[in-house]
A and B are shown apart, each in its own frame.
Chain A
Amino acid sequence: MTTIVRAAWALLLPLLCAAAPVRADLVVVLNSRDASVTLLDRATGAQRGVVPVGKEPHHLIATPDGRELIVASAMGNELVFLDAASGRVTRRIANVPDPYHLAFSPDRRWLVVAANRLDRVDVYHAADYTLAKRFEARSIPSHIAFSKDSRYAFVTLQGSHELAAFDLGSLQRAWTMNVGRTPAGVVTSSDGRHLLVGVMDDHHVAVVDWQKREVVRKLPTGKGAHNLAPRGDGRHLYVSNRVENSVSVIDESTMSIVRKFDVPGGPDCMDLSPDGRELWITSRWAMKVSVLDLDAGRVVRQHPVGRSPHGIYVHKPAVGGAHAPQLVAAQSAGAAAPARTAGRRSRSG
């Protein structure tokens, strides 16, 4: 009977903790296997609450005005909007089938959603979240990036080991190319010329000249190279190596690996603190969030969260009352503001 009690508690707890006070230094963690998000205090790591958001929330993104977060509930088939500062649920949009990863185009015209389970890429009008186009995408569409001019959306296809491009001007599929075994995270380089793709089963990051549709370099970051997050300085990218339990740093100017940190528990999605000194990382297997002190070069804290924590967002307070543009879930490097200025966009992986 104890198992039932535990299950009941696990499900009841979110109900008891649904409300959270408004505070600026918020960290939001998606517990993909608990159908909830954990709200953490960034300074202390203390839990402020757990909010139910629907089944299998994997990724989140801030709205273009930066006021809300959109949590994609993949099996709940809905988008759940949270207040970006408090984590409070503000609204829901139902009948969005299987939203796994999601991203706004840099011109803020489109919201692109990768339906990982249903093998589709859906393009929505960002203004009103109505469907513009639905593409079949076999198989297992995973993560999304854009060309800097917003013309193309790029999506990794884990099951078919491909990178696919969709023309957002004509709303037509543009091309697909092989990119390596089980590609996951993808970001656009700061100069917009390359795409960097975490290729999990080949344990490297593939540097793709997307205009030539060619892999021009392979950076062996570590086993299970998975997701990427730009530092926001236009030069450095972090790469989580989920099997090796490490995070690598890539210098875009030389396209080389310049550093590696040990991060336990299956590092997955990442987001920087507003001062750029801490990288917050979901440790997927360990039910924890790891805080990597980038100056010290080691994980200095771990905070318990829910089961299989995946997407993460570290709130960046707005400067002078203005909200910064927040566009892509961990992908479009070119759109990022410098790391140590406030008001950077959100990211998850």
Chain B
Amino acid sequence: MPDALATLVGTLQAWLFEHAVLPVLAWAGALQYTEDAFNGTEEFVLGVLELALMMAVLIPLERWRPYERPAAGEGVHADVVYTLLHRLGLFPLFFFFAFRPLFDAAQAWLHLRGIPTVGLEALLPPLAEHPLLAFLAYLVLLDFAQYWVHRAQHRIGWWWALHAVHHSQRRMTFWTDNRNHLLDSTITDAILATLALAVGVAPAQFALLVVASRVVESLSHANVRLPFGWLGERVLVGPRFHRVHHAIAASPRGDYRGANYAVLFPVWDVLFGTADFRRDPGPTGIDDQLAGRDYGHGFWAQQWLGLRRMAGRG
């Protein structure tokens, strides 16, 4: 099955690249970007397949055992738009490739002067010979960074104004994962891409790290009761754990400042005292929505309101 899937991805990638992307590059006289474009095509294919897989698995699950029936709150249409924008290779990969020339230039400057740069595999040489270990090490490292970025999103006022778009969904489904203000995504993805490049993550690794992370994040936002068990809840972020983070009770003016910030591994919340394995999630959203505060209905309204509030207006 893994081989079959790899073959499927490779076949779709090759077809799309040879029939759509490469002719455009040749026409534009831009064949020096061939390899980047080929890699980008793979991310796009992975994004499409990943989305199809999520829809095939999570939509039936959400209908089967939902936390809440879709009665109150706004619909998911805007969240679908966000998902297509983010998942089809656009955001994290854009930053990875946009930042790569800057890092290459910095590395070139250092190497020309004989100053070595630090990569995770240079610090831990066995990782170079064990790709799976290297992949896991990078996954843990980036998730650790995501935990602290996430805490900052809740702690810093102007950043919360942007991040609130994500939390304002009162009908949380797996589509909600990508409901993010574009500036919020820009900042977080830029930070993660910078870190990934700094520790020596290769483009192919980054693509798989992104996919692995997104699959877990889709699941954790899903409106589905899944029994992870005592141990499972502490190993991987699941729907209940993350729904507590989105609960109205956990929003900034609620009865506590927040919990369960981890994206993939709950261990960070355990280590830093922000884990909550007990609370029943309850309704999702932000507490002041109950008092009538509007976070925008639809993509453009949410983007505009987010910017205004970040600037201290509205």
Q: B131 an interface residue at 8 Å Cβ cutoff?
A: yes
Given contacts A243-B22, A285-B13, contact A76 B131 (CB under 8 A): no
- Against A, the Cβ 8 Å flags (1 = close, 0 = not) of B6-45 are 1100100110011000110010011110110011001000
Report A-chain residues with C-beta under 8 Å of the C-beta of B125. Answer: 94
Report B-chain residues with C-beta under 8 Å of the C-beta of A8. Answer: 132, 135
Quick check: A33 and B39 within 8 Å, CB to CB?
A: yes
Report A-chain residues with C-beta under 8 Å of the C-beta of B215. Answer: 1, 3-4
Q: B69 an interface residue at 8 Å Cβ cutoff?
A: no
Quick check: A308 and B111 within 8 Å, CB to CB?
A: no
Q: How far is the CA of A1 from the CA of B132 in the complex (A)?
A: 16
Tell me which of A34, A94, A119 contacts B108 (CB under 8 A). A119
The size bracket of the interface on B is 35 or more
Q: B2 an interface residue at 8 Å Cβ cutoff?
A: yes
Quick check: A134 and B132 within 8 Å, CB to CB?
A: no
Given contacts A3-B50, A201-B31, A307-B10, contact A285 B211 (CB under 8 A): no
- Against B, the Cβ 8 Å flags (1 = close, 0 = not) of A147-186 are 0000000000011000000000000000000000110000
- Against A, the Cβ 8 Å flags (1 = close, 0 = not) of B35-60 are 10011001000100110010000000
Judged by DSSP, the binding face of B is helix
Q: B5 an interface residue at 8 Å Cβ cutoff?
A: yes
Given contacts A15-B130, A75-B202, A307-B10, contact A4 B135 (CB under 8 A): no
B28: nearest chain-A partner, CB-CB: A201
The size bracket of the interface on A is 35 or more
Report B-chain residues with C-beta under 8 Å of the C-beta of A117. Answer: 104, 107
A308: nearest chain-B partner, CB-CB: B38
Report B-chain residues with C-beta under 8 Å of the C-beta of A94. Answer: 122, 125
Report A-chain residues with C-beta under 8 Å of the C-beta of B211. Answer: 3-4, 7
Quick check: A285 and B18 within 8 Å, CB to CB?
A: yes
Q: B231 an interface residue at 8 Å Cβ cutoff?
A: no
Judged by DSSP, the binding face of A is loop
Report A-chain residues with C-beta under 8 Å of the C-beta of B112. Answer: 120, 134, 136
Q: How far is the CA of A84 from the CA of B132 in the complex (A)?
A: 26
Q: Which of A7-64 contact B (CB under 8 A)?
A: 7-12, 14-15, 33-36, 52, 54-56
Q: A234 an interface residue at 8 Å Cβ cutoff?
A: no
Q: How far is the CA of A8 from the CA of B29 in the complex (A)?
A: 37
Report B-chain residues with C-beta under 8 Å of the C-beta of A3. Answer: 5, 46, 49-50, 53, 211-212, 215
Report B-chain residues with C-beta under 8 Å of the C-beta of A120. Answer: 108, 111-112
Report B-chain residues with C-beta under 8 Å of the C-beta of A2. Answer: 1, 5, 53
Q: A271 an interface residue at 8 Å Cβ cutoff?
A: no
Q: How far is the CA of A35 from the CA of B135 in the complex (A)?
A: 12
Tell me which of B6, B23, B30, B129 contacts A10 (CB under 8 A). B6
Tell me which of A5, A15, A243, A304 contacts B132 (CB under 8 A). A15
Q: B205 an interface residue at 8 Å Cβ cutoff?
A: yes
B50: nearest chain-A partner, CB-CB: A3
Report B-chain residues with C-beta under 8 Å of the C-beta of A4. Answer: 211-212, 215
Q: How far is the CA of A36 from the CA of B125 in the complex (A)?
A: 16
Quick check: B107 and A201 within 8 Å, CB to CB?
A: no
A161: nearest chain-B partner, CB-CB: B32
Report B-chain residues with C-beta under 8 Å of the C-beta of A243. Answer: 22-23, 26, 31
Given contacts A35-B202, A117-B104, A286-B14, contact A5 B2 (CB under 8 A): yes
Q: A200 an interface residue at 8 Å Cβ cutoff?
A: yes
Q: B200 an interface residue at 8 Å Cβ cutoff?
A: yes
Q: B128 an interface residue at 8 Å Cβ cutoff?
A: yes
Q: B273 an interface residue at 8 Å Cβ cutoff?
A: no
Query: What are 8 sample pairs from A and B whose C-beta atoms fall under 8 A apart?
Result: A4-B212, A10-B208, A11-B131, A98-B111, A182-B29, A200-B31, A285-B38, A308-B35
A-B pairs with lowest CB-CB distance, top 10: A9-B2, A118-B108, A55-B202, A11-B132, A285-B14, A11-B131, A200-B31, A6-B2, A201-B29, A287-B10
**Given A201-B31, A284-B38, 10 extra CB contacts under 8 A:** A3-B5, A11-B132, A14-B131, A15-B130, A33-B39, A35-B202, A77-B122, A181-B29, A182-B29, A224-B31
